[in-house]
Amino acid sequence: MTVTYGSGFYGQGPARRLRLGVNIDHVATIRNARGGGHPDPVRAARLAATAGADGITAHLREDRRHMTDRDIERLVAEIELPLNLEMAATPEMLAIALRHRPHAACIVPERRSEVTTEGGLDATGGRAELLPVVGRLAAAGVRVSLFVDPEPHQLEAAVALGAPVVELHTGAYCEAWLEAGGGAAVERELARLRRAAAAAEGLGLECHAGHGLTFETVPPVAAIATIVELNIGHFLIGEAIFGGLDSTIRRMRAVMDKARAEAGGALGA
């Protein structure tokens, strides 16, 4: 199945265009603070679509701390943009994903005690658990992505599992930036991401990236030509409190496109 993503096609054709997946989890965090229905994550997804998002990412966590089952149902039913469902590799989440058959599913590690996703999925060590989940999702036509640390052995494991996509965890890079604003630690993490993105292409994996990205940290990642999608959420929703979601998404889109153009990558191809 070919899905039109902005001006490009997901998974085929000129994949050099850098897509923006907007993660709407934390619209639901604010809603759940009081219960009720406001702010509505589906309204945010609709607005993201008009503001230039190429896809919507939503993480249905086991503890439902933000996105709920009803949110996922409504996103599938009401939003035209491709949905990237983030999920743990559990029987419960697999059943939900098979019921909804989103465009894509990104398998992420999950612990109830974590504040947010910490390390990447252990695709190497988790083969026995992951193989049937990846297989069932792929058989249902769901494009499977594994959320992994930028390590070659994790990419090789993704290939062995039959996942066509990896999403590189940019958390270590973003934390280094927060601590130092630049310098050796940031450069070390960027080098890891660059090496992993190049390795992913060599392995025939489509390469995405995400976690903790901001207006400041996006440009060096957007400049990595073999990365074709960034998934960004917490920063966008937080920034939207001050500048509005539409303008925040449009600004992030512009930051991504500028960085890619300056690095010589294709735009809008």
Ligand X SMILES: CC(=O)[C@@H](O)[C@H](O)COP(=O)(O)O
Ligand Y SMILES: NCC(=O)COP(=O)(O)O
Binding-site sequence positions for 3-amino-2-oxopropyl phosphate:
23, 34, 212, 233-234
Is 255 among the residues that bind ligand Y (CB under 6 A)? no
Out of 78, 116, 182, 263, the residue judged to bind ligand X by CB under 6 A: 116
* Residues between 6 and 65 that touch ligand Y (CB under 6 A): 23, 57
Least separation in angstroms between residue 212's CB and ligand Y is: 5
Q: Give the number of other CB atoms < 10 A from CB of residue 97.
A: 23
Q: How far apart are CA 112 and CA 121, in angstroms?
A: 15
* Residues between 131 and 150 that touch ligand X (CB under 6 A): 147
* Residues between 189 and 248 that touch ligand Y (CB under 6 A): 210-213, 231-235
Q: How far apart are CA 146 and CA 50, in angstroms?
A: 28
Out of 84, 117, 154, 217, the residue judged to bind ligand X by CB under 6 A: 117
Size of the site for ligand Y (CB under 6 A): 12
* Residues between 146 and 175 that touch ligand X (CB under 6 A): 147
Annotated binding site for 1-deoxy-D-xylulose 5-phosphate: 25-26, 61, 66, 116
Is 25 among the residues that bind ligand X (CB under 6 A)? yes
The 10 Å CB-count burial string (b at 16+, else e) for 148-174 is bbbbeebbebbeebebbbbbbbbbbbb
Annotated binding site: 23, 25-26, 34, 61, 66, 116, 212, 233-234
Give 10 or 235: the residue with its C-beta nearer to ligand Y.
Answer: 235
Q: φ and ψ at 95, to 5 degrees?
A: -60, -40
Closest CA to 21 of 110, 98, 86: 86
* Residues between 49 and 108 that touch ligand X (CB under 6 A): 59, 61, 86, 108
Least separation in angstroms between residue 57's CB and ligand Y is: 4
Give 2 or 121: the residue with its C-beta nearer to ligand Y.
Answer: 121
Two tokens, residue 45: 């997804």
Mask for 153-172, x = binds ligand Y (CB under 6 A) = --------------x-----
Catalytic residues: 59, 86, 211
Residue 235, contacted partner among ligand Y, ligand X, none, CB below 5-8 A by kind: ligand Y
Chain residues in the site for ligand Y (CB under 6 A) = 23, 57, 167, 210-213, 231-235
Chain residues in the site for ligand X (CB under 6 A) = 23, 25, 59, 61, 86, 108, 116-117, 147, 210-211, 233
